[in-house]
C-alpha cells in the first residue's frame, strides 16, 4: 500500500517547530522524515508567508510561530494556533 498523510510536509515542519523552537534544520528534517535541504526550503516558505519568524541567536536560529495566520482552507476560518492547540501546543505567553 502506498504511504500518504493528511498533513503536508509544511504542516509537519510547523508542528516540529511548535514542539521545540530551537531545533536545527537537520533535526526538523529528521523529525519529519525529509532531507535537510527540503526542510530548509519549507522553513523559507513558512517564513516568507508569515507563518514563522526566524531569529539568529549566536550560531543557531530560534523560530517563533505566528498563531494568528489562517489555515489556507475554503472550509474554515481557523488559525494555525487553533490547529496546533489540537496537538497540545501552547503559546509561550499561555504557559504557566
Mean pLDDT per 10-residue section of the chain, whose length is 96 residues: 81 93 96 97 96 94 91 73 77 56
If you search the block for the grid coordinates 550560531, which residue do you land on? 59
Q: What is the pLDDT of residue 96?
A: 47
pTM of the predicted structure, to 2 decimals: 0.79
Angle at which helix 25-32 crosses helix 9-19, to 10 degrees, equals 120
In a domain, 54, yes or no: yes
In a domain, 66, yes or no: yes
In a domain, 65, yes or no: yes
Domain that holds residue 14: 9-86
In a domain, 60, yes or no: yes
In a domain, 94, yes or no: no
In a domain, 93, yes or no: no
| Helix extents (H) in the chain | 9-19, 25-32, 36-49, 80-86
We report the CATH number of the domain holding residue 21 as: 1.10.10.10
Q: What is the pLDDT of residue 41?
A: 98
Query: In total, how many domains does the chain have?
Result: 1
In a domain, 96, yes or no: no
DSSP string, 40-57: HHHHHHHHHHTSEEEEEE
Amino acid at each position: 500500500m502506498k504511504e500518504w498523510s493528511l498533513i503536508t510536509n509544511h504542516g509537519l515542519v510547523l508542528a516540529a517547530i511548535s514542539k521545540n523552537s530551537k531545533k536545527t534544520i537537520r533535526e526538523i528534517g529528521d523529525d519529519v522524515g525529509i532531507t535537510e535541504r527540503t526542510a530548509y526550503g519549507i522553513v523559507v516558505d513558512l517564513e516568507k508567508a508569515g507563518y514563522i519568524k526566524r531569529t539568529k541567536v549566536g550560531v543557531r536560529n530560534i523560530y517563533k510561530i505566528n498563531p494568528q495566520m489562517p489555515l489556507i482552507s475554503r472550509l474554515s476560518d481557523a488559525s494555525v494556533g487553533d490547529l496546533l492547540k489540537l496537538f497540545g501546543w501552547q503559546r509561550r505567553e499561555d504557559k504557566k
